[in-house]
Amino acid sequence: MRCELPQILFSKIIRAVVEFGLIDDGDKILIGVSGGKDSLLLTYALKILRERMQKNFSLRALTIDPKFSDDLSDKLSGVKNFCNELRIEHEVCAVDIAALIREQKNKSPCYTCSYFRRAVMNRKANELGANKIAYAHHLDDAVETFFMSLLSSGQLTTFLPKTFLDRTNITVIRPLVYVRETEIENFTRGFDILKSPCPFDGATNRQRIKNLIVELEADFPDLFSHLAAAMRKNSIGELWDAPKTREEMRENYFALKFGGNQNV
């Protein structure tokens, strides 16, 4: 397969790789491939980077079948053919995440699915001798995570382009963090994209946040770019100090109320 990327896409991906130090010489990278548009672009792009970069690294692909449907393994033939054309070894690992979600009714299905997917990816990476795992999270994912965290927990946080997992000695990389979802949609229109088998697809909190951002952009056109800018550490302006504990306030409290006599 002859692989080419529009310059704007290639520039954004190579910027992420260089800025965050995502790929090193000798890396063995395991790609998480669901068959959706994002992971197919990631696989395609990493194939191109392997050909163009002056670094020697290897690629393998893994698809997790969460058993949300009985026929997903049949539909994955397109993903396997795609990887074969790119000369990337591909493997499918079946994990009954659907049953695990039913068992853990008190937890968010998205949390349960994500937790066990990551656990399987980490285990397979160790088995295969891979030192890095590549996920296809893009800029929209990062901004939505940031906004969702603010609204649901009051914390300013999102996932990082590069994360070292000390328990497994694996580094997670996200080379698409500068790419917008619309850019991925436009480029992958001719790809054989696998529809998400998730029974909750389109009805998650993330989808609500995605819709909310679009709705708010009607009145605040720069909302997305401002949220993206706010994710940077240098964006922090004047904020209150962290709340003090009772012990930290004890001395000042007694000084104010009793003139410093804590035994009153």
Secondary structure tally for the chain: helices H, strands E: 11, 6
> What is the spatial distance between Cα 144 and Cα 110, in angstroms, rounded to a whole number?
15
Domains of the chain as residue ranges with CATH: 7-194 (3.40.50.620)
pTM assigned to the model? 0.89
CA angle 68, 72, 76 (to 5 degrees): 140
pLDDT (tens place) for every residue of the chain, 264 residues total: 667 899 999 999 999 999 999 999 999 999 999 999 999 999 999 999 999 998 999 999 999 888 777 777 777 889 999 999 999 999 998 877 777 777 777 777 777 778 888 999 999 999 999 999 999 999 999 999 999 999 999 999 999 999 999 999 999 999 999 999 999 999 999 898 988 777 777 778 899 999 999 999 999 999 999 999 999 999 988 889 988 888 888 878 877 766 655 554
Amino acid at 264: V
Q: What is the pLDDT of residue 194?
A: 86
CA-closest candidate to residue 41, choices 186, 150, 188: 188
Q: Find, among 102, 104, 35, the residue nearest to 64 by Cα.
A: 35
Would you state the pLDDT for residue 263?
A: 53
Q: How far is CA 13 from each of CA 45, 54, 66, 137, rounded to the nearest angstrom?
A: 8, 15, 29, 12
Which residues, listed in sequence order, are joined to residue 171 by a DSSP beta bridge? Answer: 132, 164
Phi, psi of 255 (to 5 degrees): -65, -35
